[in-house]
Structure formats: C-alpha cells, structure tokens
Amino acid sequence: MRRLELLIPAAVLTLVVLAVLFAPLLAPHQPLEQNLDDVLGSPSAQHWFGTDSLGRDILSRILYGGRVSLSGAAIALAVFVALGVPLGLWAGFTSGPADRTITWLADLLLALPTVIILLVVLAVFKDNEVVTMVALGVTGSTSMIRVVRGATKAVRGQVFVVSAEGAGLNQWHILRRHVLPHVRGPITVQATFFAATAVLVETSLGFLGLGVQAPRPTWGNLVGESIQQIQPAPWFLLITGGVVALVALCVGLVGDAIRDMTATEPDLPSPSRPARARPGTASTSPSSGVLALENVTVCHGGVTPLVTDVSFALRAGEVVGLVGESGCGKSMTARAALGLLPDGVELVSGVVRVDGADVAALSSAARRRLLGRLIGYVPQDPVPSLDPSFTVGSQLAEVVATEPGLSRAEVRERCADLLRRVRVPDVPRVLASYPHQISGGMAQRVNIALAMALRPRILIADEPTTALDVTVQAEILDLLRTLAAEQDLAVLLVTHDWGVVADLCERAVVMYAGEVVEISPVATLFARPSHPYTRALLRADLRGSTPFSQLPTIPGVVPAAGAWAYGCRFADRCVLAADECRAAPVPLRSTPDGVARCVRSDELQKAEVR
C-alpha cells in the first residue's frame, strides 16, 4: 500500500523526466517548426496534443519546454540542498556563534519576500534563467536550514551521539556517521517539497512572460500562450496546465510518501487519552474482582507465544505488583489487560473482565471507547509521555472534554481539581506549563491526573517511579496508595523493584518466561517465597549486601519468547532443578495462601539451599 503511494508518482515522474531528456529523439516535430496551414489544430494522429497558433506541434514544444523548466527547477533544488543541508547541520551541531549567525541570516532571508527578490534578479540579470533559479534556491534554503538544524539538534541530544563524542571522535566523523543518517528523512522530504515549488515558480515566471522568452518554449510560456487561446482551443491549456500540475503533484506525492515512511510510529497509544470518546457502559456482572484475567494467552504473529495462561484478579482498592525480569511478559500482560496490544500481537485465548464484563470480546473500537473510563494508564517515562507542543492544561482538557455536556469553565475547573487531587502544589502554574518546564515528578503527577481524568476503576502503572528520584518516588508511591484507598481504585503496578512491592503492594504476581510462577501476599513472598525464581530474584537485590561483595545472580538469561523448555521453564537456571522438573509442564499449585508453579516447593521451604 505504502509502496504503491511512492512507486506510482515516482514512476510517472521518471517517465516525464526521461521523455524531456530524450526530447530530440522522441519529439515528432521540431519545436519551432511552423505550419500556418494547421493552426490550433485539435489533437490528431499527426499531432497528439494538437498545434498552437503558429501551427507548431504542442507535444514537441512541451517536451523541449520541459528541458528549460525542469533544468531550472533542478538548479534551484541543487542550490537549495547544497546551501541548506551543510548550513543546517553546522548550525544544529555547533550551538554557539555559528548557530546564532546562521539562524539570524536564515531569519533575515525569510523576512524578505521571495517574489520581489526574483523580480529584481530578473530585471538586473535580463531574464537570465540560471541566475533566477539560483536566487530561488538561496531564498528557499532557509526552510531547509531550519529543518535540518532542528533534526540535527534532536539527534545530537541522543545518547549515542553523546557517547560517540565521549569516545573522542572528531566532529566531522560524528556528523557523517552518526548524525547524517538520522536526518536523511527530513532532508529528502524537504527537498521534494521544494522541487514541487520550484517547478511551479519556474512556470509561473514563464507564464508572466519573464525568464526564457518565446519562441523558445518553456512550460511557463506555453501555459501563458495557451491561456490566450482558451476560446478557440481549450485543450491547449488543459494539456500544458495538466503537465505542470501532474509533475508538481507527483513530486508532492513522493514527498508525502517518503515523509510517511520515515515518520516514527508512536510506541504505545495512551489509553488514558482516547480520541474524543463517548461514554460507554459495560454490562456488569458480579465477579471476583474489578479486573480479572482468566487464562490469557497472547501470541505474536499468531504463532509465537509471549504470555501463556495468565490468570489473576484485582479487587477494588487493592494494589497488586506484577514482578519479574525484563522480557518475562509483564508489560504484555498489562497491555492485554488494557486491550492495547501492539501490532501483530493478539489475545489468542482467555478472557479479560472489567467489572465482570468481557472486554477482550469487544471490538477494538468499542474497547477503546471504554478505556480511560474503566482503566487508566500511567506510563514509565513521565516527560516523554506528554506531548511537548501542548501545555499540561490543554492536554488535560482534551481528555476531560471527552465527557459530553461540560462547559469550558467546567472543563477548566475539572482540570485544576484533577491536579489538586494528585497534590500538585502550584496548580495554575503547572496548568500553563509545557511538559519540558516541569520536573519529572510533576510530570508523573500530571500523567496520573490524565489517567484519573475519566474516573476509572482501575489504574495500570508500568514502572511508574523507575525514572524518578527517590524522594519523588516516595511521594508518588504515597499518592498511589492514597488514591487506591480513598477512591477504591484497583492498581496493577508493573515493577522490577522489590522495594516498591514491599512499600505499596498487598499481593504480588511473579512472572517468568511468559507465565505466572507465583502469586502470594507480600508478607509471605518476602519471608518464604514458594518459587525458586522468586527467591533468586529477591537475593539478587543488593540492599542488605556486604559492600564490594559479589552479589548472588541468576545464571543464564531469560529465554526468548517461545523458546521455552517443555517442562519447567526455569529449570536451566534453577539451583533445585531435578529430572522431575523437566519431565512435563509444571502446573500452578496451591500454597497456603497463594499459588506457585514448582514441583519442589516443599524442598525449597525445607532446605535453605543456595
């Protein structure tokens, strides 16, 4: 689909350019060859596009005219790129005097009206096409400079560029190897759009009788002529105008296609901000919990299992931790609960119940409408999760206003109230701030406010304090604790920090290799873990270690999704592994106050083996 959007206009353009290039071979007639016996002839076998007022073959004139017009546009484009890219890179890469000077010059150039500059150049240089097109390239290059400068600055901030600098690489090397490849997209897009503009400007000048003069054909003066003949020969304008429009359109389409292809996709659509959702009602039926996952299995591409047979439930007001190493399926489980699985990943079996209603069975549109109202989502990275180009107030208002029938004043009051509820101290200031103007802790409060905006029953938070300072983390955890208690909110907290589990959670669900390996109340979990994985992970915690000592680790790595052993998936890394562990898949078994997936739980409890 996307490829066609690029291929078709690109193919048309290539054909036009080739035809123009080989005009002397392809043109059926000489462009200046008159035939006063056949003026303004309609399209015919002899003259496919008809003839003009002097009986010249229009097709031939268009082919030859294209040589002037397209080479003019090419000159302007060359100047535009040759000037814009290096200056933009330079400005973006070396903040300081060079940046300021280049930006200032670009701003100055931008302030001058292009048309007047071109008219002056035409007058001074006596209709010299080349000089005019160079001037067009120079004036246009300001936009290229700005775009490249911005893109370069963005890439320059990336840690990998910073580390390249740390390695002592010279700037030229970094620019060429690390920066240029990442700004190629915007450069290409900018260049194609300018090419379209250049074709149009070139023809407009010809149309106004400026630049290359008749009888030598250019697309511009052909359009000019054809307009004078619109009464007797309307097809003339249709054809000449059509060619110019077609070329400009195709160049633009190529630019669009490239932009779409290079644009980055958002990672996880934030369910707390559904697009203009209407209120939905979920049919409720009594059930064990406000959120329940029942035998949820999630696959990638229909074959590779990412999460298998996960079941657990959250009661209202309860905070449950979802724990495990990276790659064990915590986030995928959370996404399944949110109904927001990434592309190519789907729930192949199992049920997700919110208030007893099976939300997984809903169409994705219906589910999206419910999200935000039933489940709020708090992301890990507070600042990047907010849109940098809008104030906190407008982002909150956007969500709040999805509730119908609120006046603007009510929306504003609701936003302020939300921020007060997440204990933002200076509400008016924060409402008026852009995300980069507030601290990470404040941004996380804003994210929680956004998640709470539609008064959900459930909050799913994926590592909500990982990116925060300890003192701020303590505050955010306190806030979540209060919200859960006061508003009877069920909170599913994805975390890899045992400290967070100990601080906030009542129960923990431990995941390993895509499945639940233990569910226990935290007091039991910390004191007497029922699964060797839980115990190993607890021991890897450096809190309580002897300084400078080698810490206990878990040998090996988490197996890749689907590359799991037939028997116990933890067997390769487990100190207690025995033959019986590998013989068959291990089912979840009841423990005194939870479940665990280990055939040797008893041994674990008995022997304090390492």
Query: In 505-571, which ranges are continuous DSSP H helix?
Result: 522-527, 532-539
Q: Does 526 bind other proteins (CB under 8 A)?
A: yes
Minimum distance of ligand SF4 from residue 501's CB (angstroms)? 20
Q: Does 437 bind other proteins (CB under 8 A)?
A: no
User: How far is it, in rounded angstroms, from Cα 455 to Cα 28?
Assistant: 74
Of 244 and 574, which CB lies nearer to ligand SF4 in the complex structure? 574
* Residue 598 binds: one of other proteins, ligand SF4, none (C-beta under 5 to 8 A by kind): ligand SF4
Minimum distance of other proteins from residue 541's CB (angstroms)? 5
Of residues 15, 120, 557, 578, which one binds other proteins by CB under 8 A? 557
Angle, alpha carbons 194-198-199 (nearest 5°): 120
Task: Give me the 351-370 binding string for ligand SF4, x by CB under 6 A, dash otherwise.
Answer: --------------------
Three-state secondary structure call for residue 57? strand
- In angstroms, how far is CA 121 from the centroid of its own chain? 43
Backbone conformation region of residue 69, classed left if phi is above 0, alpha if psi is from -120 to 50, else beta? alpha
Query: Contact 532/576 with Cβ under 8 angstroms?
Result: yes
Query: What dihedral angle (degrees, nearest 10) is formed by the CA atoms of 424, 428, 432, 438?
Result: -30
Q: Does 364 bind other proteins (CB under 8 A)?
A: no
* Residue 169 binds: one of other proteins, ligand SF4, none (C-beta under 5 to 8 A by kind): other proteins
User: How far is it, in rounded angstroms, from Cα 188 to Cα 206?
Assistant: 27
Angle, alpha carbons 417-418-424 (nearest 5°): 90
Query: In 284-355, which ranges are continuous DSSP H helix?
Result: 330-338
Query: Of 278, 598, 331, 275, nearest to 460 (Cα)?
Result: 331
State residue 320 phi and psi, 5-degree precision. Answer: -120, 135
Query: Of 226, 140, 123, 231, nearest to 190 (Cα)?
Result: 140
Task: Give me the 505-544 binding string for ligand SF4, x by CB under 6 A, dash otherwise.
Answer: ---------------------------x------------
Minimum distance of ligand SF4 from residue 598's CB (angstroms)? 3
Q: Is the peptide bond before 547 cis (omega within 30 degrees of 0)?
A: no
Query: In 303-454, which ranges are continuous DSSP H helix?
Result: 330-338, 364-370, 392-400, 408-421, 427-432, 440-452
What is the DSSP pairing of strand 304-314 with strand 345-354? unpaired
Of residues 201, 450, 574, 595, which one binds ligand SF4 by CB under 6 A? 574
How many residues bind other proteins (CB under 8 A)? The answer is 56
* Residue 577 binds: one of ligand SF4, other proteins, none (C-beta under 5 to 8 A by kind): ligand SF4
Of 442 and 574, which CB lies nearer to ligand SF4 in the complex structure? 574
Three-state secondary structure call for residue 279? coil
Stretch that binds ligand SF4, among 148-156, 350-358, 500-508, 566-574 (CB under 6 A): 566-574
User: How far is it, in rounded angstroms, from Cα 164 to Cα 173?
Assistant: 9
Of residues 64, 93, 236, 570, which one binds ligand SF4 by CB under 6 A? 570
Stated as kind and residue range, the H or E segment containing 80 is: helix 58-93
The token duo for 389 is 């180009």
Rg (CA), the chain: 33
Q: Tell me the one-letter amino acid at 346.
A: E
Query: Which residues, 458 to 517, sit near other proteins by CB under 8 A?
Result: 469-474, 478, 496-503
Of residues 176, 177, 278, 455, which one binds other proteins by CB under 8 A? 177
Query: Contact 35/51 with Cβ under 8 angstroms?
Result: yes
Minimum distance of ligand SF4 from residue 507's CB (angstroms)? 20
Minimum distance of ligand SF4 from residue 597's CB (angstroms)? 7
Task: Give me the 390-429 binding string for other proteins, x by CB under 8 A, dash otherwise.
Answer: ----------------------------------------
Q: Does 167 bind other proteins (CB under 8 A)?
A: yes
Q: Does 599 bind ligand SF4 (CB under 6 A)?
A: yes
Stretch that binds ligand SF4, among 311-319, 388-396, 497-505, 598-606 (CB under 6 A): 598-606
* Residue 571 binds: one of other proteins, ligand SF4, none (C-beta under 5 to 8 A by kind): ligand SF4
Of residues 141, 581, 591, 594, which one binds ligand SF4 by CB under 6 A? 581
Minimum distance of ligand SF4 from residue 578's CB (angstroms)? 6
Chain contacts with ligand SF4 (rule: CB under 6 A): 532, 568, 570-571, 574, 576-577, 581, 586, 598-600
Chain contacts with other proteins (rule: CB under 8 A): 158-160, 162-170, 177-178, 181, 325-327, 439-440, 469-474, 478, 496-503, 522-523, 526, 536-538, 540-545, 547-548, 550-554, 557-558
